[in-house]
Amino acid sequence: MAATSFHQAIGTIQYSGCFRNSNLNQVNWNYSFQLISSGFKLDIALLRTGTYCSRKRSFSNIQASTSQSTVFDPVSSPSNGTKSDSKKKPSEAALILIRHGESMWNEKNLFTGCVDVPLTKKGVEEAIEAGKRISNIPIDMIYTSALIRAQMTAMLAMTEHRRKKVPIILHDESEQARAWSQIFSEDTNKQCIPVITAWQLNERMYGELQGLNKQETAERFGKEKVHEWRRSYDIPPPNGESLEMCAQRAVAYFKEHIEPQLQCGKNVMIAAHGNSLRSIIMYLDKLTSQEVISLELSTGIPMLYILKEGQFIRRGSPVAPTEAGVYAYTKRLAQYRQRLDEMLQS
């Protein structure tokens, strides 16, 4: 068993990762690092079960021990749990997309954009209902925008998940934030789901329209002009973003940070906004700029995609948590649900 240690550490970070060797075979490792000082860093998260794909950050001196083994979630792992199975390339991964529930400015018919507005009571109920729809689908990681309405939607949805893991927002804005939000119980870590917030997933910025009433704006500037600002692909509102500009940042973030997790077999949920999600769906479904402008997403309704053999396959929206044979389910998801039933009944 390989082991390396460097001393004089001042903090502890645990990490699980999936890597591929020159023959493109996946190898799963568990790492335990003790952080000494800032300098070079690794995109580590306190990952509880399974594996996590890494990206560089920056730290210098570390204490590290490695072992070629994997901690398995008894629900999401294959039922036989053999070592040979753990090294197989992931056969598929689930991707859940949820537009946030109704916000207080949605209710008032105001342009919201990047203004940080919370959910209404109806929005809270929509988020909870969304959680019921995905309560039998495995979730290993959650990505949200930096805006509270998307974060509320993700957190409320997870209260309904039958696995009962706790979503934990990772604070990486400073060394102090990372240190103060550290979890020191391995058992607790295994029952948590990391939540990563990213401004790149924010709603498109509506510029000088933000805070204006939509009906009054149409009367002031004309319905055609406002419709052009809202529904065209490449024409932004005054000092704001077009859908094309929003897509550039949202899709780039998805490809760099989220897609690699799916390729490693991680099941991911994204809670975001109408335009950032339309942008990602444009990439997933290979839509044209004309096709995406007519795409409408309802608040609080989850969409399910499966990544299999390098292709994203849309499976629609799970109908309800009590229906075993919903069209949205694949064989792997059905097996996950069966193991979930068995665990909760035992």
Tokens of 69: 């083994």
Catalytic residue among 126, 161, 203, 259: 203
The more confident residue out of 120 and 17 is 120
The pTM for the full model equals: 0.75
Q: Is 214 annotated as a binding residue?
A: yes
Residue 43 to residue 326: CA distance in whole angstroms:
37
Residue 261 to residue 253: CA distance in whole angstroms:
12
- Smallest CA-to-CA distance from 314 within 295, 328, 301 is with 328
Q: Is 100 annotated as a binding residue?
A: yes
Whether 7 is catalytic is no
Q: Is 230 annotated as a binding residue?
A: yes
Percentage above 70 pLDDT, the chain: 70
Mean pLDDT of the chain: 78
Catalytic residue among 100, 126, 241, 259: 100
The more confident residue out of 289 and 41 is 289
Q: Is 106 annotated as a binding residue?
A: yes
Burial class (CB within 10 angstroms; exposed 0-12, middle 13-18, buried 19+) of 203 = buried
3-state secondary structure of 20: strand
Whether 100 is catalytic is yes
Distance from chain centroid for Cα 40: 26
Q: Is 259 annotated as a binding residue?
A: no
- Give residues with Cβ within 8 angstroms of 128, minimum separation 6: 156, 157, 159, 160
pLDDT, tens digit, 9 for 90 and up, residues 315-332: 876 654 444 334 445 777
Residue 207 to residue 240: CA distance in whole angstroms:
4
Does residue 308 surpass a pLDDT of 60?
Answer: yes
Among left, alpha and beta (phi > 0; psi -120 to 50; other), residue 289 is alpha
Residue/partner pairs of 228-234 with CB below 8 Å, 24 or more apart: 231/293, 232/293, 233/289, 233/290, 233/292, 233/293, 234/289
pLDDT, tens digit, 9 for 90 and up, residues 140-187: 999 999 999 999 999 999 999 999 999 999 999 999 999 999 999 999
Q: Is 104 annotated as a binding residue?
A: yes
Q: What is the mean pLDDT of residues 276-302?
A: 93
Does residue 99 surpass a pLDDT of 90?
Answer: yes
3-state secondary structure of 186: helix
Q: Is 325 annotated as a binding residue?
A: no
Find the helix packing angle between 214-221 and 223-231, rounded to 10°: 120
